[in-house]
Amino acid sequence: MRYEALMQRLAHHALPGEDEPNNGGAALSRREFLKLSAGSAFALGLFTLPQVAHAAGGGQALKPNEMPDAFIAVRTDGGVVIQVNRLEFGQGVYTALPMLLAEEFDADWAHVEPQLAPAGNAYKDPYMGMQMTGGSMSVKNSWLQYRDLGARARAMFVAAAARRWGVSPASCRTQDSQVLGPDGQRAPYGELAAAAMQEAVPDQVALKVPADFTLIGKPTRRLDSPAKVSGREQYGLDVHLPGMKTVLLAKPPVFGARLGRWDAAAARRVVGVADVFPVQLDRGASGLAVVAEGFWPAQQGRRALQVEWDTSGVEKVDSARQLAHYRELAGTPGLVARADDVSALGQAAHRLHAEYEFPYLAHAPMEVLNCTLHYSGERCEIWVGTQFQTMDQLAVAKVLGLKPEQVVIHTQMAGGGFGRRAVPTSDYMVEAAWVAKGWRQAGHVEPIKVMWTREDDLHGGYYRSAYLHRVDIGFNGSGRILGWKHTVVGQSIVAGTSMAPFLMKGGIDHLVVEGIVDTPYRLPMHLEVHQPEVNVPVLWWRSVGNTHTAYVMETLVDELAQQSGIDTVAYRKQLMQGRHPRHAAALDLAVSQSGYGRRTLPKNHAWGVAVHEAFGSVVAYVVEAALENGQPRLLRATAGVHCNLAVNPLTVRAQIEGAALMALSTTLPGNAITLKDGVVQQDNFDTYAIARMNVMPEIDVHIVPSADPPMGMGEPGLPPLAPAYANAIARLTGRRLRRLPFDLS
């Protein structure tokens, strides 16, 4: 089952009753909205019931409803305020979603002002039934919704102008936030706003055809740049409320361990420390909350704590032992995820045996996790950059004994996330809620900001899971694959969470096998899975299962091509048997733009190729790598991208550049989270390596032209980069790198 379908089922099941649109909930009230955008004369909010959108094949039957002014407001001065119902954390929705709406509204782009929407029923993903950002779904799932909103609003302005002029609406045009009448009349939207508000919301609107787009598809600079280059942007960590305290948590060194004996006398003596108290933590753990006047006293207070931890009864994971255990598991029967007939494998002229190892990886967004709360007993107001508003709202409400609508979430701009802010257990927000509860129980009333340090972040779990793959392939002299036996060992991401029943089928977490089980290559495959339970919390990490599956598939296919004496691009096409034109188009574009096959590389340089589809988009890389002093270096990466219509080509380019760099990081020595006696060994960026400018390759991005409905681009640029680089290194050194990060020593 496809990821999105799974997520969708999950959303509807996990949140019973939550897809009632008009129950008020924590939705923005009309009054609150008008307060937000003073001077607004027109405001419109429409949203889709998932089932309606589905019945209509994706949104054509959108119906206006009673939820007012949730998405768009037009001020009398012409400002067009658009609510963005997704988290902006670098991926560009703050620009892309307004582009969709403004296109159909014919808004003057210079006067479009996005705002990040708070948690509210109106802001749920129309297909998922929950407010969320993830799965590279934002543009894809907002494509019809935001355009439809713009088209309906436009029709109301046209109707208002036509009424004023006594002409037919059909005789009017719109452009740059103005209605133009048949006889040269002209009325700016700001002037019409009050009248437009009196018009009925139309039941049916026609959306533009791609040929008529003036904004969608045009390289468009980000709307958040001015604030972000001047230091004015407010991220979650920058929130400041009157009287607010800063909280650091003293957490056990082993996941799930508990607070033993403790003494906070020295911590309390630190000037600025307001209180220290025990607090319940994620996964049954417990620790101490240090509350202070700002970060520095909190940090000093935390350092001054005397704490003994009770680690009895919790598994103390050791990376070396874990690998040995995974190897043993790989030799035993697992759950069968795909069961093609591979009986011909035994008769194959050639065999390829391979074993791959992938470590735990931390997301390590530049802005550490944080959550600011003001809890009054009846209401909890929260400022946080989260990818999962709906689930977090429920989770916090549960901790505080509140109804979800008593938990107000103000979505904050976030400094990266890569999946870490989309947590099924709402770990850091639930912990923050426990602190808020303890703080209030201790008689305090001030708001608190619970923040993490980088050490907390790297020690904090919810990593990309560690995996072991074992593959046995039989092939003949012409590269024909007779049998492909594949075993994956690694933790399920969703097992044990509320999402398990929906993302797991036959006990197999789809997120562990995506990218293999659905390979575009025609080959007989037998795929088995082991999902051991391990005391290390894991989570989706930019491109999820594809982070490791694409590496295995694309390096093996390259190796088979090489061993069969077939060009690696031609071999991929041979294996796809003409059934995957988007893969072929992306690959061809990367090949032609890179000069692969035409340009002769200098000595000690080599090409590497990989292609992979994730979240509906296909990305192919042709890379050029070199050996410098015996060490590999990625010099150049040419990307061919098929994401259907590229709504904002600048964003697509940025996402490819960024995903390529993040993938390059995974190859660098030191890009691994390892454990010894249950304790994470990496503390900060000195021991957890992230790509810096000095290893940056030249990245060249080319997009296959398309007018088909857009797919996501937040993640698909990541999976094929590391295998393309590894394939180049194999050509340079003869060594097939089967362990990440790379080690050529």
Per CB under 8 A, does 295 bind other proteins? Answer: yes
- From 66-74, 121-129, 160-168, 236-244, give the range in contact with other proteins by CB under 8 A: 236-244
Residue in 91, 121, 465, 549 binding other proteins, rule: CB under 8 A:
91
- From 226-234, 330-338, 372-380, 527-535, give the range in contact with other proteins by CB under 8 A: 226-234
Per CB under 8 A, does 286 bind other proteins? Answer: no
- From 1-9, 21-29, 154-162, 409-417, give the range in contact with other proteins by CB under 8 A: 409-417
Tokens 């789809």 sit on residue: 510
d(CA 470, CA 481): 17
Per CB under 8 A, does 405 bind other proteins? Answer: no
Residue in 70, 661, 673, 704 binding other proteins, rule: CB under 8 A:
661
Q: How far is CA 511 from CA 137, 461, 491, 517, 548, in A?
A: 16, 18, 10, 10, 11
State the helix-helix crossing angle for 721-733 and 649-667, rounded to 10 degrees: 50
d(CA 351, CA 714): 37
Residue in 173, 263, 296, 505 binding other proteins, rule: CB under 8 A:
296
Per CB under 8 A, does 367 bind other proteins? Answer: yes
Residue in 51, 168, 234, 376 binding other proteins, rule: CB under 8 A:
234
Residue in 155, 237, 618, 726 binding other proteins, rule: CB under 8 A:
237
Per CB under 8 A, does 224 bind other proteins? Answer: yes
Tokens 């560009």 sit on residue: 92
Task: Tell me how far, at minimum, the Cβ of 452 lies from other proteins, in Å.
Answer: 10
Q: DSSP string spanning 245-278?
A: EEEEEE--SSTT-EEEEEE-HHHHHSTTEEEEEE
Beta strands per DSSP E along 182-250:
186-188, 245-250
Residue in 230, 312, 441, 600 binding other proteins, rule: CB under 8 A:
230
The 632-651 contact track toward other proteins, x by CB under 8 A, reads ------------------x-
Per CB under 8 A, does 672 bind other proteins? Answer: no
State the helix-helix crossing angle for 721-733 and 546-564, rounded to 10 degrees: 30
Task: Tell me how far, at minimum, the Cβ of 28 lies from other proteins, in Å.
Answer: 25
Nearer to other proteins, 188 or 415 (CB): 415
Residue in 54, 164, 268, 454 binding other proteins, rule: CB under 8 A:
454
Cα–Cα nearest to 104, from 123, 85, 80, 125: 80
d(CA 174, CA 552): 52
Number of shown-chain residues binding other proteins (CB under 8 A): 63
Nearer to other proteins, 155 or 660 (CB): 660
Task: Tell me how far, at minimum, the Cβ of 687 lies from other proteins, in Å.
Answer: 10
Per CB under 8 A, does 173 bind other proteins? Answer: no
The phi and psi torsions of 31 (rounded to 5 degrees) equal -65, -45
Per CB under 8 A, does 339 bind other proteins? Answer: no
Residue 363: how many other CB atoms lie within 10 Å:
22
Pairing of the two strands 245-250 and 448-451:
parallel
Beta strands per DSSP E along 294-369:
306-310, 335-339, 350-358
Cα–Cα nearest to 147, from 73, 210, 89: 210
Residues 60-89 touching other proteins, rule: CB under 8 A, are 88-89
CA 655, 742, 553: angle at the middle one, nearest 5? 65
Nearer to other proteins, 397 or 654 (CB): 654
Per CB under 8 A, does 446 bind other proteins? Answer: no
Per CB under 8 A, does 660 bind other proteins? Answer: yes
Nearer to other proteins, 227 or 324 (CB): 227
d(CA 558, CA 568): 6
Nearer to other proteins, 90 or 716 (CB): 90
Cα–Cα nearest to 113, from 71, 157, 145: 71
Cα–Cα nearest to 433, from 472, 407, 454: 407
Per CB under 8 A, does 240 bind other proteins? Answer: yes
- From 233-241, 339-347, 506-514, 591-599, give the range in contact with other proteins by CB under 8 A: 233-241
Per CB under 8 A, does 631 bind other proteins? Answer: no
The 683-722 contact track toward other proteins, x by CB under 8 A, reads -xxx---xxxxx-x-xx-----------------------
Per CB under 8 A, does 119 bind other proteins? Answer: no
Residue in 22, 225, 332, 604 binding other proteins, rule: CB under 8 A:
225
Per CB under 8 A, does 383 bind other proteins? Answer: no
Residue in 38, 170, 232, 599 binding other proteins, rule: CB under 8 A:
232
Nearer to other proteins, 233 or 405 (CB): 233
Terminal alpha carbon distance of the chain? 41
d(CA 74, CA 40): 6
Per CB under 8 A, does 241 bind other proteins? Answer: no
Q: Which two structure tokens, joined as six digits, stand for 412? A: 């904050």
Cα–Cα nearest to 332, from 474, 529, 509: 529
Residues 6+ away with beta carbon under 8 Å from 11? 50, 125, 128, 129, 130, 132
245 pairs with which residues across the strands? 448
Nearer to other proteins, 42 or 541 (CB): 541
- From 76-84, 107-115, 290-298, 723-731, give the range in contact with other proteins by CB under 8 A: 290-298
Q: Which two structure tokens, joined as six digits, stand for 346? A: 């035994």
Q: What is the DSSP letter of 183?
A: T
Per CB under 8 A, does 268 bind other proteins? Answer: no
Per CB under 8 A, does 233 bind other proteins? Answer: yes
Residue in 21, 25, 59, 92 binding other proteins, rule: CB under 8 A:
92
d(CA 120, CA 397): 14
d(CA 115, CA 48): 20
Nearer to other proteins, 189 or 360 (CB): 360
Region for 691 from its dihedrals, namely left if φ exceeds 0, alpha if ψ lies in -120 to 50, beta otherwise: beta
- From 75-83, 218-226, 248-256, 722-730, give the range in contact with other proteins by CB under 8 A: 218-226
CB 647 within 8 A of CB 710: yes
The phi and psi torsions of 62 (rounded to 5 degrees) equal -50, 135
Cα 346 versus chain centre, distance: 42
Residues 496-555 touching other proteins, rule: CB under 8 A, are none
Task: Tell me how far, at minimum, the Cβ of 689 lies from other proteins, in Å.
Answer: 10
CB 371 within 8 A of CB 508: no
d(CA 337, CA 528): 6
192 pairs with which residues across the strands? none
Task: Tell me how far, at minimum, the Cβ of 699 lies from other proteins, in Å.
Answer: 6
Residues 8-47 touching other proteins, rule: CB under 8 A, are none
Nearer to other proteins, 416 or 616 (CB): 416
d(CA 149, CA 141): 13
Per CB under 8 A, does 416 bind other proteins? Answer: yes
Nearer to other proteins, 385 or 678 (CB): 385
Per CB under 8 A, does 396 bind other proteins? Answer: no
Per CB under 8 A, does 419 bind other proteins? Answer: no
Region for 9 from its dihedrals, namely left if φ exceeds 0, alpha if ψ lies in -120 to 50, beta otherwise: alpha
Task: Tell me how far, at minimum, the Cβ of 396 lies from other proteins, in Å.
Answer: 24
d(CA 226, CA 70): 25
- From 107-115, 154-162, 228-236, 672-680, give the range in contact with other proteins by CB under 8 A: 228-236
Which residues contact other proteins (rule: CB under 8 A)?
88-92, 221-222, 224-235, 237-238, 240, 246, 271-272, 293-297, 299, 364-368, 413-418, 453-454, 650, 654, 657-662, 684-686, 690-694, 696, 698-699
